[in-house]
């Protein structure tokens, strides 16, 4: 028998998850600090291994956001830091194929020819001013931890985006910042062991921007899940 309360919750939660997408154009309207704090407080209910909560978040607005953005753009233009190793080189073909599909959709939506390298550079550069968002978040972690703790931070990041969507805010998670950790470290007060994992643009969506209507497809569940013993009766499963 269906439970109307569960159905309502499912509709709302699934709706927020399905409607979230990475936004790359923002309205200049500011995000009040109280709203940001409430959002981060609920996001921090994310689980973590042994409840270690290994994340740190640096929230920037106004002059701090502008100053960091300017410094990052300068570093990007000077190309003085090594490329970030967030993907192996070469990327295995099954992943590279989806990466190419993303690139094709992204540049087509922006009206950019994929061979227009200066145009692509200008768009990549927009990452560093947080795509014009009024809030920029930098997520860091203690670099002494094992990769598994980065998973905890990833859960926090997803929670921030879902909590933002639920409040009518938009977001874009951005690994682009990782390469520029030395620049970030000059502008923020970081602990000796902190390393930048990613950033995030956060603010009210610019509804008319075509780039905000880009919707990336997902793999079918049956393509990435192996179902084992689901057709067997429960007793047979337990005895296996
Ligand atoms: C860890 C991570 C890093 C990302 N880095 C960037 C980035 O640096 N710049 C950017 O524009 N988008 C970035 N994205 C957004 C992805 O391109 C986006 O999530 C993906 O294409 C799926 O689209 P959707 O988020 O709209 O569903 C990143 C996403 C994740 C999860």
Domain CATH code at residue 154 = 3.40.109.10
Confidence of residue 231 (pLDDT cuts 50, 70, 90): confident
Q: What is the mean pLDDT of residues 112-133?
A: 97
DSSP 8-class letter at 137 = E
Domain range enclosing 133: 22-83+128-212
Residue 92 counted as domain residue: no
Q: Which residues on adjacent β-strands are paired with residue 195?
A: 141
Residue 232 counted as domain residue: no
Q: What is the pTM of this model?
A: 0.95
Distance CA 114, CA 102 (A): 11
Residue 201 counted as domain residue: yes
Residue 3 counted as domain residue: no
Does residue 118 have a cis bond before it (omega within 30 degrees)? no
Confidence of residue 234 (pLDDT cuts 50, 70, 90): low
Give me 128's structure tokens. 């560093």
Residue 69 counted as domain residue: yes
Structural domain count, the chain = 1
Residue 230 counted as domain residue: no
Question: Ligand 1 centre from 21 Cα, in Å?
Answer: 9
CB-based pocket (< 6 A), ligand 1: 21-22, 24, 102, 127, 172-176, 198, 216
Confidence of residue 144 (pLDDT cuts 50, 70, 90): very high
Tell me the best of 84, 106, 157, 175 to mutate to test the pocket of ligand 1, counting ligand atoms within 8 Å of each CB and taking the most. 175
Contact 153, 186 (CB under 8 A): no
Nearest ligand 1 atom to the CA of 214 is 26
Residue 55 counted as domain residue: yes
Residue 176 counted as domain residue: yes
């Amino acid at each position: 028998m269906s439970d109307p309360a569960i159905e309502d919750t499912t509709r709302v939660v699934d709706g927020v998850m399905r409607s979230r997408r990475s936004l790359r154009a923002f309205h200049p309207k500011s995000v009040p600090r109280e709203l940001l704090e409430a959002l981060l407080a609920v996001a921090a209910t994310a689980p973590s291994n042994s409840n270690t909560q290994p994340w740190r978040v640096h929230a920037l607005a106004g002059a701090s956001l502008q100053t960091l953005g300017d410094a990052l753009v300068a570093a990007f233009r000077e190309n003085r830091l090594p490329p970030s190793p967030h993907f192996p080189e070469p990327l295995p073909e099954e992943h590279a194929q989806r990466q190419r599909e993303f690139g094709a959709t992204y540049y087509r939506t922006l009206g950019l020819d994929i061979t227009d390298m200066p145009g692509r550079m200008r768009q990549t550069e927009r990452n560093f001013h947080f795509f014009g968002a009024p809030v920029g978040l930098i997520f860091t972690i203690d670099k002494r931890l094992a990769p598994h703790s980065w998973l905890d931070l990833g859960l926090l990041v997803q929670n921030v985006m879902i909590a933002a969507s639920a409040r009518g805010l938009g977001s874009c998670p951005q690994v682009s910042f990782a390469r520029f950790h030395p620049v970030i470290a000059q502008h923020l007060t970081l602990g000796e062991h902190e390393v930048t994992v990613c950033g995030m643009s956060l603010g009210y969506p610019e509804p008319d921007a075509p780039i905000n209507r880009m919707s990336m497809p997902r793999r079918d569940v049956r393509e990435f899940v192996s179902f084992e013993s689901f057709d067997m009766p429960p007793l047979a499963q337990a005895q296996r």
